Amino acid sequence: MPAFLGHDADPAFLGHDADPPSRLARERETEPLRARRAFCRAIALGLGAVTLGARPALAQPPTDREPADPGHLTPEESAHVPVLVLPRRPRVERPFDLIVQIGDPTHTMAEHHRIAWIEVLAGGARVFRAELGPAVAFPVVRVPLVLTGPTVLTARAQCNQHGVWRTRREVEVG
């Protein structure tokens, strides 16, 4: 229990008079005042409990991983970074294929260490997701897309041992 919760008998802490009530004053306390003090203590304790209980939820979720230097990938980055293959300038409102491959060479798909899912976002909205089981030979998906304007495409993939990895690409349309 935090130290401040031990101050529940301190009137100053509860927003009452700075000086603790004298014995005489305490004897004069009316029942409503005692009830009010008890209520204030309960509120203080409750707030403390809520704050403590909420602390784990404040922890930020791990962010998607991206290579520190895309020009020089580490072996771990090479194995996990999604590789996007698509036309240099897709035609507006004309379907095209986006190929997403996880890793170069592709990541292993063993039961204990594999890519669990791949998803594609267009302009921040998820447009595709695939769950991959261990029977999938390679973590590669083909996604037919159609764009109505310049779009940021994002491919995300989760390795069951090394977290979520992401690649973003700004795509111009012709």
Report d(CA 148, CA 60) in Å as an integer.
34
CB distance 118 to 82 below 8 Å: yes
Binding mask 105-144 for Fe ion (x = CB under 5 A): ----------------------------------------
Q: Are 141 and 128 a contacting pair, CB within 8 Å?
A: yes
- For Fe ion (CB under 5 A), the number of binding residues is 3
Nearer of residues 96 and 106 to Fe ion, judged by Cβ: 106
Least CB distance to Fe ion at residue 159 (A) = 3
Q: Name the CA radius of gyration of the chain, rounded.
A: 29
CB of 132 to Fe ion, least distance (A): 13
Nearest residue (beta carbon) to Fe ion: 159
Q: State the nearest-atom distance from the C-beta of 90 to Fe ion, in Å.
A: 30
- DSSP code, position 105: T
- Measured distance CA(13)–CA(44) in Å, rounded: 9
Shortest Å distance, C-beta 62 to Fe ion? 14
Encoded tokens for 61: 């979720």
- Binding mask 151-170 toward Fe ion (x if CB under 5 A, else -) reads --------x-xx--------
